[in-house]
């Protein structure tokens, strides 16, 4: 994932399905498509290709659906020994949905997967954990986003988090942070605030390790601040929401400089945090600061 990306907002992507016509598909260049990648799973190097020292890049023409999943792919170029492994890899990638006129739309473009004999691939143990993790993780995201049964979503997300903990401590920081955030949101909506705080703290702890790419740092601090506020720990909530909002402002500025539709998601997130932060500040008897938060939130509507 491009480390320049900020704030891929994990909890604001709707799992909405709708029929679209051909003219609704947004055509994007390779760089823009690459910048929208949420999760880039590494390919498994085919043993035969490695034995005969075949390496190179497999290029795909892809269509990304409104939920960020790869709906279709077609090999454009690449060595035949590498193509199937590249396809298996690409099926596991997810993308931040594209928008047109403020609404999610499918997008089409080109994606490349590189095979290099100079790079170490994932270990068998890591691949085994990943094979268990991603199906449960995607189900966790789906259940939270649908919002129909948060008791079930809480159980699913906690299961995904437990699997993520099977990864070695020095690997897969992004996956761990992501699922801890989703678990915290599910538990918050299910009314289990203390357990939600535990997972929110886990997410922030991953960010503090310094190995993350900042793509969800705001989400980690945001959910932690909201849970702390609901538990009545207003001072801690004030501190963590301030950090979350700083990340979000940077994300908005970055999206505007790159002319990306991602800015709309960043704005929705900061509005949510600013409004809740205003309630926290009212509870701390700081009404003038609370009003400033509400005024800032109004600028993004």
CATH of the domain at 88: 3.30.2420.10
What is the DSSP track for 73-89? EEEEE--HHHHHHHHHH
- Residue 185 pLDDT level (bands cut at 50, 70, 90): very high
Give me the residue label for tokens 């793509």. Answer: 215
Q: pLDDT value at position 167?
A: 84
Quick one: what percent of the chain has pLDDT higher than 90?
41
Residue 295 buriedness (CB in 10 A; 0-12 / 13-18 / 19+):
exposed
Boundary of a domain, candidates 115, 138, 157: 115
Out of 22-36, 119-133, 223-237, give the one with best mean pLDDT. 223-237
- What the block records as the tokens of 169 is 């401590």
**In this predicted structure, what is the pLDDT of residue 19?**
39
pLDDT classification of 260: cutoffs 50, 70, 90: low
The pLDDT, as a whole number, for residue 9 is 37
pLDDT value, residue 175 = 82
Which of 67-71, 167-171, 234-238 is predicted least confidently? 167-171
Contact (Cβ atoms closer than 8 angstroms) between residue 158 and residue 137: no
Query: Are residues 130 and 66 part of one domain?
Result: no
Helix axes 150-164, 193-208, angle to 10 degrees: 30
**Which SS3 state, helix, strand or coil, does residue 183 take?**
helix
Cα torsion through 220, 225, 231, 233, rounded to 10 = 130
Are residues 74 and 151 in contact, defined by beta-carbon separation less than 8 angstroms? no
Secondary structure (3-state) at 166? coil
The SS3 call for residue 111 is strand
Boundary of a domain, candidates 55, 81, 115? 115
Domain count, the chain: 2
Q: Is 238 helix (H, G, I), strand (E, B) or coil?
A: helix
Domain extent at residue 103: 22-115
In this structure, the answer to whether residues 201 and 165 fall within a common structural domain is yes
Helices (H) and strands (E) in the chain, counts: 11, 8
- Between 183 and 80, whose confidence is greater? 183
92 domain residue, yes or no: yes
* Same-domain status, 152 and 228: yes
Same domain assignment for residues 57 and 107: yes
Take residue 61 and report the two structure tokens written for it: 């023409």
Q: 96, 115, 134 — which closes off a domain?
A: 115
pTM beyond 0.75: the answer is no
**pLDDT value of residue 125:** 74
Residue 123 confidence (pLDDT) above 80: no
- Domain presence at residue 239: yes
């Amino acid at each position: 994932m491009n480390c320049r990306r900020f704030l891929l907002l994990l909890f604001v992507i709707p799992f909405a399905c709708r029929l679209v016509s051909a003219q609704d598909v947004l055509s994007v260049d390779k760089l823009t498509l690459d910048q929208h990648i949420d999760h880039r799973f590494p390919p498994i190097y085919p043993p035969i290709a490695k034995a005969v020292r075949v390496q190179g890049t497999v290029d795909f023409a892809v269509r990304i659906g409104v939920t960020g999943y790869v709906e279709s792919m077609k090999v454009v170029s690449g060595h035949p020994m590498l193509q199937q492994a590249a396809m298996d890899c690409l099926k596991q990638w997810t993308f931040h949905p594209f928008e047109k006129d403020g609404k999610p739309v499918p997008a089409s473009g080109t994606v490349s997967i590189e095979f290099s004999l100079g790079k170490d691939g994932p270990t068998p143990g890591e691949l085994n954990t990943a094979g268990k993790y991603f199906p449960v993780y995607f189900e966790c995201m789906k259940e939270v986003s649908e919002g129909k049964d948060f008791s079930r979503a809480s159980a699913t997300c906690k299961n995904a988090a437990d699997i993520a903990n099977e990864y070695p401590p020095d690997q897969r920081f992004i996956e761990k942070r992501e699922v801890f955030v989703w678990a915290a949101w599910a538990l918050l909506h299910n009314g289990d605030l203390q357990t939600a705080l535990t997972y929110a703290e886990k997410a922030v702890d991953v960010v503090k390790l310094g190995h993350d790419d900042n793509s969800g740092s705001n989400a980690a601090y945001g959910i932690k601040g909201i849970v702390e506020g609901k538990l009545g720990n207003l001072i801690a909530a004030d501190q963590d929401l301030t950090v979350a909002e700083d990340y979000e402002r940077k994300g908005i500025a970055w999206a505007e400089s790159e002319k990306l539709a991602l800015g709309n998601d960043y704005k929705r997130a900061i509005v949510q945090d600013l409004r809740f932060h205003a309630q926290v500040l009212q509870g701390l008897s700081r009404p003038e600061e609370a009003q400033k938060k509400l005024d800032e939130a109004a600028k993004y509507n």
